[in-house]
Amino acid sequence: MTISTVIFDIGNVLVDFDWDGFIHRMFPGREELITELDEAVWGSGRWDRLDAGDPPEEVFSNIIAHDPEHEAELRRVFENVGDTLRKRPATPAWINDLKSRGYRVLYLSNYSRYVMGKNPDVLDFLPLMDGGIFSCDVRLIKPDRKIYECLAEKYSLVPDECVFIDDIERNVKAGRDFGFHAIQFRTLEQAQHDLNALLKEGKS
């Protein structure tokens, strides 16, 4: 086994994605409302359609149709959703360390152009990377096997030479089923330790 490429998810791996903190800051002490908004936004994969590249207003209309009583609150959420994201100071150093050791570094992320536009600065590390795929650009979302195939085809990847890091178990499993070595991100220290151990094994 020789590892040549490290593939990162972005949300809660290279940047913080804190929906819970965001929604509680926006509507402090309103737990019943927050529960209803959570269901409207995340239930039945409604928000996933944004990551899959559907037009934002179409996605938002579908969410509002589920909870029309709270249209004003939902539109406030949509407008400020960039505040769910925060930079992780360790990210550029992690990417640069891997690049300095000769590894190609890619991203594979469920992400929408709408959210990117609400907080573009949080992705300022992207120029350090060697490329990647955002789900919205290929209209596929993890854990669909086709998005892993799309990345492999675009960058001529040999799956057994790649490590994939994601915080969501089903995405990790899908990456592993595709043939990638895969690590579930829980903490920065754990993920870096597990990655370094795998890269060391790959050189032995």
Residue range 66-87, pLDDT digits in tens: 999 999 999 999 999 999 999 9
The ranges assigned to domains in the chain are: 5-16+86-203, 18-84
**Burial track 131-151 (b if 16+ CB lie within 10 A, e otherwise):** ebbbbbebebbbbbeebbebb
H/E element, 107: strand 104-109
Rounded Cα gap, residues 94 and 98, in angstroms: 6
Q: Name the CATH topology of 5-16+86-203.
A: Rossmann fold (3.40.50)
What is the structure's pLDDT at 127? 98
What is the structure's pLDDT at 187? 97
Rounded Cα gap, residues 114 and 105, in angstroms: 24
What is the structure's pLDDT at 44? 84
Nearest to 109 by CA among 177, 186, 15, 4: 15
pLDDT band at 43 (very low <50, low <70, confident <90, very high): confident
48-65 mean pLDDT: 96
pLDDT at 204 over 80: no
Mean model confidence pLDDT for the chain: 96
What is the structure's pLDDT at 124? 97
Question: pTM to 2 decimals?
Answer: 0.95
- Residue 59 identity: V
pLDDT band at 199 (very low <50, low <70, confident <90, very high): very high
pLDDT at 110 over 80: yes
Strand partners, 181: 163
What is the structure's pLDDT at 203? 61
